[in-house]
Amino acid sequence: INKSLSALTHCIRKMVAIGRRSRAAGARNEHVPFRDSKLTYMLQDALQGNSKTCIIAAVCAGRDDYPETLSTLQFAQRAKHIKTKVVKNVEAKGNLMKALEDEVDRLKAEVRLGHAQKEELADLEQMRARYGANWHFQMERARSWTEKKHQILEESGFS
């Protein structure tokens, strides 16, 4: 826990320093080490993203807890100085509607294609039913003719 809290303190110090420098000397892209701990990595979007962050500091009024309370209040004071750039999340409804309409058209085309394939399958089944029996008959007839041909050739002495 101490390592994570130290990393969080380091990130907050860095963000406050970057905020002060960006107001004074123009914005520079500087790295904030959010990946130093799981806690800071998890809080990355809350601390620098498009969000409003609230930090609650728990303190104790006892004399023995004075150093810890002072440290906690200093941490909260530093966190109060974090500046984020809030940007309104707006989706272009026209683009979303167009994408949804395109998806509906694509799905309708797939359904039509499915019906066309069903009809084609039904036609092929009809052809098989109609010509399938005839095909078996023709194969049997061809085998019979082949046997007769061999028999005639044997009787004539040509085989």
| Contact assessment for residue 105 and residue 40, using Cβ atoms and an 8 Å cutoff | no
- Domain limits at 15? 2-80
Residue 16 lies inside a defined structural domain of this protein? yes
What is the rounded distance in angstroms from the CA atom of residue 36 to the CA atom of residue 40? 7
Residue 38 included in any domain: yes
The CA–CA distances, whole Å, from 14 to 42, 119, 133 equal 17, 68, 85
Q: Is residue 148 part of a domain?
A: no
Instruction: Please count the structural domains in the chain.
Output: 1
Q: In one letter, which amino acid is 20?
A: R
Place of tokens 């728990």: 58
* CA separation, residue 109 to residues 100, 102, 112, 115, 119 (Å): 14, 11, 5, 10, 15
CATH number at residue 22: 1.20.58.980
With respect to residue 31, please indicate whether it lies within any of the assigned structural domains: yes
Q: pLDDT, tens digit, for every residue of 103-153?
A: 999 888 888 887 778 888 888 888 777 777 777 788 888 999 999 999 998
At 59-108, the pLDDT tens digits run 998 999 999 999 999 999 988 888 877 777 776 677 888 888 999 998 88
Cβ neighbours of residue 27 closer than 8 Å, sequence gap 6 or more: none
26 domain-assigned: yes
